[in-house]
Amino acid sequence: MSMLEDVADGLAKRTLQLMRRTGDEKIEQRVLEEIGTSSPTLEEAYATAMRIRKAEARASDIMDKYETGVPVPVAEKRA
């Protein structure tokens, strides 16, 4: 990965950890706004890293359900 991707992914991981720990979904937007004030390039990379990490978590949850035999609902398309 490039330095940009490394930094963005690191921030995304930290954000998701904080969001899980606190239950505060607004952290993501606050970090995004703060990054955007000084680096639109990093802002976009962070937003992309967050989408990727969230999708990864959802996919992992589904695979866990399949592995344990829990019924898996049909995926809802997100806008």
Residues 6+ apart with CB under 8 A from 15: 27, 28, 31, 50
State residue 46's pLDDT score: 98
- pLDDT tens readout for residues 20-69: 999 999 999 999 999 999 999 999 999 999 999 999 999 999 999 999 99
Terminal C-alpha separation, the chain: 28
Residue 2 has pLDDT above 70, yes or no: yes
Alpha-carbon span 29 to 34, nearest angstrom: 9
Residue 79 has pLDDT above 70, yes or no: no
Q: What percent of the chain has pLDDT over 90?
A: 85
Q: Quick one: which of 46, 65, 40, 52 has its CA closest to 7? A: 46
Cβ–Cβ under 8 Å, residues 53 and 16: yes
